[in-house]
Every structure is written in structure tokens, then in C-alpha cells.
């Protein structure tokens, strides 16, 4: 990375490599097209307007989890009939906004939500298409904060409720079941986990069809992980193996469509948080490199003990290295990007890159400590 191009920008800031984003989108699209799979981009990973425009331009659908995400998707050109709306706690206003936008599908997560959606659709004299989010009780083997498909999690409808839900579908006239939805977690790097998911999905689809409920849409969610350790070697995730696995293990009938909701895999590697070193503080065991970026700009390390590769862009001489705890300026001990990180000799004013920050980075920033919102940069 060439730091001269950053010198007019106020640190900290996010920079997005739009070339890499576009290449990633193209590879994903080409691999999904091999099997006629449909991919919705999960806006929660990054809802930056420029990123959204680039993704919709490649023909992706949108996966939204709030009314504002639905509005952002529409505003940035995603076609309404490719928008799905998920989430355990949709408010009445959010549901009404999505009904007004005539979105493709509501992913419904509970019996009570079904009742409310039916009522609100009835008031508008509309029929809402729905997919039921099923909790398949598959362990994603990822960080417990980003595991969603276990019975202990709040997400989805559990198997013991399914027959009740099917009865309700017969009663509620303003909703129409079109599919089933699953999402078991995020940053999943072991593809075997998805194979276990496919096996469960087949069972649930059969169970519904035995109950005379045609399942046209099979939405398997997102969750494909990325390589945080080697972002340059694996800049584009292995979409080929990922989609092939679903093709191999899902039993798909000719009237069924398979849908995906990918977030991280599409946007993580194109984003970098650029920061400057404010101070170096020498300790007995380790040195601290205190940055002008903190957990307010990138929360993942503090919240999930997530690893992001850290690089000194100003000094690339790796022949002499020291260990640094790379920390932010926020008054919290968890405001730390990495402990005992080997870096070239680092000094005040050096530019530091925190890599793979395009997903769940900018979008999760906060104003804690009255931090200012940052600039954003786009490059090719």
C-alpha cells in the first residue's frame, strides 16, 4: 500500500479497494451462476452507499435486517423483488415500510411475528410472501457470539413448533409461505459445517412438503468465512468450493430456487482501517503502540477477540522487529487490536493498516467518548 496517496486524509479512516470488491463480486456471481443460485448481499456487513451501489450493479439481491436497511437497499438501486427482510425483532413500522416497498420475502422468526405480519398485511390489503426461519440446531463451530443456529440461540423457529406454525399458515390469509430460511452463524471456515446444514435443510424441506406445504425458495443464509491471517494470499474466498458443496448436498427439485445471504465473504477483504501512531510507550515486557483508531472505529477485536492483520505502512523494513501491543485511545482495556504483535520498529506518525476490515467494521463504529465520524476513501 502506497501511503503517499493517504497524506491528504485525516486518520483514522476506512479505505476500500473497489477493484478487489468488483473482482470478488464477479467471482461470486460466476460461481453461483453455475448452479442458478441466487445471492443476496447481507447489508449488515457494510451499508456504505458506494459499496451498496457496486454490489447492486452486479445484480445481487439484498438481505436486510432493519427497516432502514430495506430503505437503503431501495435507495441504492436494489430491485424490490430481490429484497429479503430478516430479524427476530421487526417493529410494526419496519414491517409496514417493507410491505409498502413490496419486497420479495419476509424471513419470519416466530409464531407471534407471523400473527402480526398477517394483521399488518391485512390492513394494507396485501399478501406478504414469507420464508420461515428454521433453527436447525447445527453447530457452526465459530465464535459463540456469532453462532445463531443452535436451540439455545434466539433465532428462528424450533422443530417442536413447526406443526403449530403449519396450522397457523392455514388460518392467516394475508401471508403466503414460499420458502424456508436457515442461517447458522458467521465466519465459518470449515465447509463440513455447511454439509451438516444441507442434510438438515433436506429433512426440513421434506417435512414441510409432506405436510402439503410447497417449498419453492430454499434460503441457506450466509456465513462463509474469510482468511484474516493471510488477506493477500486469499483475497477472494473460495466461492467455487462453497457453492459446489451446496450443489452436491442439497436435494433440489426443479421448481426450487436456492438463495444465499452473504455478507463478510463479499466485502471483508476490500476494506482497510488506516490509522496513525500517536505514541509509543515502552513497557517492561512489551511496548504499546497507541493508535488514533480504537474500538470506536473497529469493534471486532474488543467484542469477539477477533484477529485482524496489522501492518506498519511507513516502515516496511522487516529485518529488525519488536513486539507491540497495538491499542487504541479509548478508555477501556479491551480497546486493543492485538497483543505482542511483531512489527518493524514503529514510531509516532507511522501509518498502520488494520486489514480485512470491510465487513462489520465501518458499520459497527460508534461515537463512544464523543469520537468523531471518520472520512472514507475509495481506491482502485
User: What residues line the site for ligand LLP (CB under 6 A)?
Assistant: 42, 44-45, 63, 86, 146, 148, 183, 186-187, 221-224, 261-265, 300, 304, 360
Q: How far apart are CA 170 and CA 168, in angstroms?
A: 5
Quick one: cell of 178? 414460499
Residue number with CB closer to ligand LLP (277 or 301):
301
CB of 10 closer than 8 Å to CB of 233: no
Nearer to ligand LLP among residue 332 and residue 379 (C-beta): 332
Q: Looking at beta carbons only, is 84 or 352 nearer to ligand LLP?
A: 84
DSSP 120-179: HHHHTT--EEEEEEB-------S-GGGB--STTSS-SB-GGGHHHHHHHHHH-TTEEEEE
Q: Which is nearer to ligand LLP, 90 or 300 (CB)?
A: 300
In angstroms, give the least distance from the CB of 243 to ligand LLP. Answer: 14
Distance of alpha carbon 345 from alpha carbon 238, whole angstroms: 35
Smallest gap from Cβ 344 to ligand LLP, in A, equals 28
**CA-to-CA distance for 101 and 122, rounded, in angstroms?**
15
- Which residue shows C-alpha cell 442461517? 183
Instruction: Calculate helix-pair angle for 67-75, 92-100, nearest 10 degrees.
Output: 30
Report in angstroms how near the CB of residue 84 gets to ligand LLP at its nearest.
9
Q: In whole angstroms, give the CA distance from residue 69 to residue 51.
A: 13
Closest separation in Å from C-beta 346 to ligand LLP: 26
Tell me how far, at minimum, the Cβ of 2 lies from ligand LLP, in Å. Answer: 28
Identify which of residues 69 and 350 has a Cβ nearer to ligand LLP in the complex.
69
By C-beta, is 264 or 365 nearer to ligand LLP?
264
Q: How far is the CB of 166 from ligand LLP (least distance, A)?
A: 22
Look at residue 364 and give its three-state secondary structure: helix
Query: Cβ of residue 69: shortest distance to ligand LLP, in angstroms?
Result: 12
Integer Cα distance of 334 and 299 in angstroms? 10
Nearer to ligand LLP (CB atom), residue 148 or residue 312? 148
Amino acid at each position: 500500500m502506497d501511503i503517499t496517496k493517504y497524506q491528504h486524509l485525516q486518520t483514522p479512516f476506512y479505505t476500500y479497494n473497489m477493484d478487489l470488491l468488483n473482482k470478488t463480486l464477479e467471482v461470486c456471481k460466476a460461481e453461483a451462476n453455475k448452479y442458478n443460485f441466487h445471492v443476496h448481499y447481507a447489508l449488515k456487513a457494510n451499508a456504505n452507499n458506494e459499496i451498496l451501489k457496486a454490489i447492486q450493479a452486479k445484480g445481487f439481491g439484498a438481505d436486510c435486517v432493519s427497516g432502514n436497511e430495506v430503505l437503503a437497499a431501495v435507495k441504492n438501486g436494489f430491485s424490490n423483488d430481490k429484497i429479503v427482510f430478516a430479524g427476530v425483532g421487526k417493529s410494526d413500522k419496519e414491517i409496514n415500510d417493507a410491505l409498502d416497498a413490496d419486497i420479495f420475502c419476509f424471513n419470519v422468526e416466530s409464531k407471534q411475528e407471523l400473527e402480526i405480519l398477517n394483521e399488518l398485511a391485512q390492513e394494507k390489503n396485501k399478501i406478504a410472501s414469507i420464508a420461515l426461519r428454521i433453527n436447525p440446531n447445527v453447530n457452526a463451530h465459530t465464535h459463540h457470539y456469532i453462532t445463531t443456529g443452535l436451540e439455545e440461540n434466539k433465532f428462528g423457529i424450533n422443530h417442536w413448533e413447526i406443526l403449530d406454525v403449519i396450522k397457523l399458515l392455514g388460518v392467516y390469509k394475508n401471508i403466503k409461505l414460499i420458502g424456508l430460511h436457515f442461517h447458522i452463524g458467521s465466519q465459518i471456515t470449515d465447509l463440513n459445517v455447511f454439509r451438516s446444514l444441507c442434510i438438515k435443510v433436506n429433512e426440513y424441506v421434506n417435512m414441510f412438503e409432506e405436510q402439503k406445504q410447497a417449498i419453492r425458495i430454499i434460503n441457506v443464509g450466509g456465513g462463509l468465512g474469510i482468511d484474516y491471517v493471510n488477506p493477500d494470499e486469499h483475497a477472494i474466498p473460495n466461492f467455487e468450493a462453497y457453492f459446489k458443496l451446496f450443489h452436491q448436498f442439497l436435494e433440489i427439485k426443479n421448481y426450487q430456487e436456492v438463495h444465499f445471504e452473504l455478507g463478510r465473504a463479499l466485502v471483508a477483504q476490500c476494506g482497510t482501517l488506516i490509522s496513525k501512531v500517536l505514541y509509543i510507550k515502552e513497557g517492561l515486557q512489551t511496548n504499546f503502540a497507541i493508535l488514533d483508531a480504537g474500538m470506536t472505529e473497529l469493534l471486532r477485536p474488543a467484542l469477539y477477540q477477533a484477529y485482524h492483520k496489522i501492518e506498519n505502512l511507513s516502515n516496511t523494513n522487516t529485518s529488525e522487529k519488536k513486539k507491540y501491543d497495538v491499542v487504541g485511545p479509548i478508555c477501556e482495556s479491551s480497546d486493543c487490536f492485538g497483543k505482542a504483535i511483531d512489527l518493524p520498529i514503529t514510531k509516532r506518525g507511522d501509518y498502520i493498516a488494520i486489514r480485512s476490515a470491510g465487513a462489520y467494521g465501518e458499520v459497527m463504529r460508534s461515537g463512544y467518548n464523543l469520537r468523531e465520524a471518520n472520512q472514507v476513501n475509495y481506491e482502485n
